């Protein structure tokens, strides 16, 4: 029974594709997935580096119909069901940026079309399959959340390191200014109290 559940989990586990891509300035990167009618799809994205951490997102169906569009988004999650079978396109556009490339982390989760085939044991088998699908979905959600938290940790660490280096450089600059002002005041006071002899 234990092995049956493990094998069933592996069978029903939804494929997840996670990628890091770099979208150059004035460029657009598009990806394609061919799916059947009624397939549940979920796009999750997060901007990891570059500029103001924003990008334009667009999802287009096989019939050319725009399913989702977003401008200057930092992160997002959009879930939809395929309305027609065919190739779905999702694009990340950095055309608004003049010279800064953006690093985008995204996942496209593609589910299985819901098919209920009667099993040998009837209703109990379909309940088991439903429970396995729910467990698989929960595991997928946990995996997405872990990837999201890792990315957020990476972004915040990068921000902290950048802020720390700027503080160190500013402190060094302030120390140099302080030393220069001290030397300038000593020199000025020394010249002020010099006794000048008239010959």
Under 8 Å between Cβ of 148 and 71: no
Of 87, 109, 93, which Cα lies nearest the Cα of 58? 93
Closest Cα partner for 116 from 125, 107, 126?
126
Summarised one tens digit per residue, pLDDT across range 72-124 is 998 888 888 898 999 999 999 999 888 889 988 888 888 776 554 555 555 66
pLDDT value at residue 117 = 52
Q: Are 54 and 47 in contact (CB under 8 A)?
A: yes
Which fold is adopted by the domain 2-153?
Answer: Jelly Rolls (2.60.120)
Report the distance separating Cα 7 and Cα 2, nearest Å.
9
pLDDT tens track for 158-191: 888 888 999 999 999 999 999 999 999 998 888 8
Please list the residues that pair with 143 across neighbouring strands. Answer: none
Integer CA distances (angstroms), 161 to 46, 166, 181, in order = 20, 9, 30
Q: Quick one: pLDDT at residue 10? A: 41
Among 19-33, 136-150, 180-194, the minimum mean pLDDT is found in: 136-150
pLDDT digits (tens, 9 = 90+) for 26-40: 999 999 999 988 888
Give yes or no for residue 54 having a pLDDT over 80: yes
Q: Give the C-alpha separation, 13 to 6, whole Å.
A: 10
pLDDT of residue 199: 59
Residue in 29, 16, 89, 18 with CA at minimum distance from that of residue 56:
29
Q: Is the dihedral of CA 76, 140, 40, 106 positive or negative?
A: positive
Backbone conformation region of residue 108, classed left if phi is above 0, alpha if psi is from -120 to 50, else beta: beta
Q: Report the SS3 class of residue 118.
A: coil
Q: Tell me: pLDDT of 193 over 60.
A: yes
User: What pLDDT was estimated at residue 12?
Assistant: 42
Residue 41, number of CB atoms within 10 A of its CB:
19
CA pair distance 73, 76, nearest whole angstrom: 7
The full set of domain ranges for the chain reads 2-153
- Report the candidate in 90, 103, 124 with the shortest Cα–Cα distance to residue 21: 103
Residue 59 pairs in a beta bridge with 68, 90
For residue 17, pLDDT beyond 60: no
With the C-alpha atoms ordered 114, 35, 77, 147, is the resulting torsion angle positive or negative?
A: positive
């Amino acid at each position: 029974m234990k092995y049956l559940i493990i094998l069933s989990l592996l069978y029903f586990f939804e494929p997840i594709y996670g990628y890091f891509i770099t979208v150059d300035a004035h460029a657009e990167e598009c990806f394609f997935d061919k799916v059947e009618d009624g397939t549940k799809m979920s796009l999750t994205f997060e901007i990891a580096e570059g500029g103001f951490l924003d990008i334009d997102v667009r999802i287009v169906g096989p019939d050319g119909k725009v399913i989702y569009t977003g401008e200057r988004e930092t992160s997002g999650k959009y879930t939809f069901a395929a309305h027609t079978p065919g190739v779905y396109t999702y694009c990340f556009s950095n055309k608004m940026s003049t010279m800064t490339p953006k690093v985008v982390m995204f996942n496209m989760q593609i589910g299985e079309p819901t098919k209920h085939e009667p099993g040998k044991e009837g209703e109990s088998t379909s309940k088991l399959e439903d429970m396995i699908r729910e467990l698989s979905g929960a595991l997928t959600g946990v995996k997405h959340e872990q990837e999201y938290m890792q990315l957020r940790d990476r972004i915040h660490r990068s921000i902290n390191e950048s802020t720390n280096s700027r503080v160190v450089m500013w402190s060094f600059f302030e120390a140099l200014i302080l030393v220069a002002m001290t030397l300038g005041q000593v020199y000025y006071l020394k010249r002020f109290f010099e006794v000048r002899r008239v010959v």
